[in-house]
Amino acid sequence: MFKWKKAAAALAAAAMTVAGAGCTVGSGSAYAMTIDGEQINAGIYIYYSYASYMELTQTLQSQNSELDVKDDNVVKEQKMDGVSSEEWIKNKALEYCQRYVAIEKKFDELDLSLTEEESKDVENTIDSFWDTNGETYEKNGISKNSVKSVLENTYMTNEVFLYYYGVDGEEGTTEDDLKQYYEENNARVRYIKFDLTDGNGEALDDAGKKEMKAKVEDYLGEINALKGDEDAMEDEMDNVQSDYNAYVTSISEEAAAATATSATDADGNEIAATTEATTVAAETTTETTAAAEESAATETAGAEEAAETTAAEESASEETTTTEAAVETDENGSEVTTTTTAPYANEQIIAKVTTKENTKEEDVTYNPCKNVYDYVFGDGQKNYGVATVVEDDTAYYIVMCRDIKERMTEDDLWTETQQNTVISQAYSDAFEDMLDGWTGEQKVEKNDSAIKKYDAFKIDMDSSSQSA
């Protein structure tokens, strides 16, 4: 699923949240504007206007968590992209509407159509959504048909995007192009984390750190002694992980026992010992990364997102630590159950970090930490199959990279879902530019009185209106 389909749900939620606050519009202005001869009805404009309002407040909140975005007066005092909040909302709603029309016209021009499954998805989504939210929407000037039109438009956007940038599409995208993009922007890695904390979860002193480093280097030697035998190295990393887990459990239990206390009640009777310390669970790195949806930032076709970071922990691949049980019959006819573990269950696929312009370094999250990330996309790519120690302020890591190309098969990393994700990641920006080109040539005639009436800040809890 491409990001524009997901955008519909996000926009619906945004509009619902604000509409649910009781915002009411009049019924006298049926159309907010005309774009290239196509009239934008009030319901669609209100929908996009409130979606823009929510986008604004969420962005302001992310920039300043102490800002009271529930106070309209506070929001009105803010600026975004150099303009007032009110002007920004109007500009964003206009942008949504322009893109809506551009997609409608291009969809028809290219003689595209939605599949039967997509059409059913639209109907089912709208019916379900309207059962819960229809009354609120209608009294705020947004009809069921308006919401359906917006949702259909997101599906149309997806089809137009694929027409140009899908495999063998108009822009000449090939599967080899997509594979190359994926391989250059993702890394295959396994690591084990060794926390620099004691049994109580407190930071180790210098002597404790030195002892832990010696332990980690011993582990490293045992792993690299098997270099060249991939299976043996993986088995040894499993052993190291198990040994470290047992070590963490033991020091946690020792710490808990050391702080166990006894007490007496008011009559002097002894109360059973209680444990004050909490056993520190081993923080292992055999966890898997599951993010088969988009790794890049999810954007809408009609909206620039608030500045955000596509964190590297949003892995471009879905890995699951699973085992499968199979019942077989031995030579005596007895049933024997065997279990197999997914071959790459303990690996992670780490995606390169991509950030919005002006994103601060401190706002970027790296998986599992900046130093490991830098190694993985640096020297780690030159040393496949060799484990190394990476140091961080709070932990040591044993890290081993392998060639991601070895897993680029349709039954592993290179699934159809992954290909679609990569298409979106690789060509979304180009498609955004294409959309901007189409909207830049449009003729827009605004109904200023209607736009003024549908001001997102005009909220009246006691009023109602007809739907558009």
DSSP structure string for 402-428: E-GGGG-STTTT--HHHHHHHHHHHHH
> How many angstroms separate the first and last alpha carbons of the chain?
30
Instruction: Give per-residue pLDDT as tens, 130-146.
Output: 998 888 888 778 899 99
What would the mean pLDDT of 216-240 be, rounded to a whole number?
A: 97
95 with 303: CB under 8 angstroms?
Answer: yes
Instruction: Indicate whether 66 and 124 sit together in one domain.
Output: yes
Q: Is 333 a domain residue?
A: no
Q: State the pLDDT at residue 83.
A: 97
* Domain interval for residue 206: 198-261
Q: Is 47 a domain residue?
A: yes
Q: State the pLDDT at residue 295.
A: 36
Q: For the whole model, what pTM was predicted?
A: 0.74
Percentage of the chain surpassing pLDDT 90? Answer: 65
Instruction: Indicate whether 153 and 227 sit together in one domain.
Output: no
Give the end of a domain, one of 261, 279, 309.
261
* Pairwise CA distance, residues 270 & 286, whole Å: 44
b/e per residue, 396-405, with b = 16+ CB within 10 A? bbbbbbbebe
Give the end of a domain, one of 244, 261, 278.
261
Instruction: Indicate whether 100 and 205 sit together in one domain.
Output: no
Q: Is 467 a domain residue?
A: no
Q: Is 356 exposed, middle or buried (0-12, 13-18, 19+ CB in 10 A)?
A: middle
CA atoms within 13 A of residue 162's CA, in its CB half-sphere: 17
* Pairwise CA distance, residues 108 & 152, whole Å: 13
Q: Is the pLDDT of residue 176 over 70?
A: yes
**Based on the structure, what is the number of domains in the chain?**
2
Q: Is 352 a domain residue?
A: no
Between 189 and 300, name the one with better pLDDT.
189
Give the end of a domain, one of 261, 280, 301.
261
Q: Is the pLDDT of residue 233 over 90?
A: yes
Between 170 and 12, name the one with better pLDDT.
170
Mean of per-residue pLDDT scores for the chain: 82
Instruction: Indicate whether 157 and 26 sit together in one domain.
Output: yes
Q: Is 273 a domain residue?
A: no
Say which range, 71-75, 194-198, 430-434, has the weakest mean pLDDT. Answer: 71-75
Q: Is the pLDDT of residue 404 over 80?
A: yes
* Pairwise CA distance, residues 128 & 132, whole Å: 7
Q: Is the pLDDT of residue 14 over 80?
A: no
Instruction: Give per-residue pLDDT as tens, 91-148.
Output: 999 999 999 999 999 999 999 999 999 999 999 999 999 998 888 888 778 899 999 9
Instruction: Indicate whether 34 and 82 sit together in one domain.
Output: yes
What would the mean pLDDT of 400-406 be, rounded to a whole number?
A: 98
Which pLDDT band, with edges at 50, 70 and 90, does 456 fall under? confident
Instruction: Give per-residue pLDDT as tens, 308-347.
Output: 344 333 443 344 444 555 555 555 555 655 555 688 999 9
Instruction: Indicate whether 85 and 150 sit together in one domain.
Output: yes
Q: Is 213 a domain residue?
A: yes
Instruction: Indicate whether 116 and 24 sit together in one domain.
Output: yes
Instruction: Indicate whether 44 and 170 sit together in one domain.
Output: yes
Q: State the pLDDT at residue 293.
A: 36
Instruction: Indicate whether 98 and 210 sit together in one domain.
Output: no
Nearest to 166 by CA among 417, 415, 420: 420
Q: State the pLDDT at residue 465.
A: 46
Instruction: Give per-residue pLDDT as tens, 60-81.
Output: 999 999 999 989 999 999 999 9
What would the mean pLDDT of 295-315 be, rounded to a whole number?
A: 37
Instruction: Indicate whether 106 and 255 sit together in one domain.
Output: no
* Pairwise CA distance, residues 302 & 309, whole Å: 19
* Pairwise CA distance, residues 432 & 430, whole Å: 5
DSSP per residue, 164-198: HHSTT-TT---HHHHHHHHHHHEEEEEEEEEESB-
Q: Which two tokens stand for residue 96?
A: 């949504």
CB proximity list for 101: less than 8 A, separation 6 or greater: 35, 36, 38, 40, 442
Q: Is the pLDDT of residue 239 over 90?
A: yes
Instruction: Indicate whether 24 and 152 sit together in one domain.
Output: yes
Instruction: Indicate whether 159 and 207 sit together in one domain.
Output: no
Which pLDDT band, with edges at 50, 70 and 90, does 226 fall under? very high
Instruction: Give per-residue pLDDT as tens, 245-285.
Output: 999 999 999 999 988 754 555 666 655 555 444 444 444 43
Q: Is the pLDDT of residue 1 over 70?
A: no
Q: Is 253 a domain residue?
A: yes
Q: Is 31 a domain residue?
A: yes
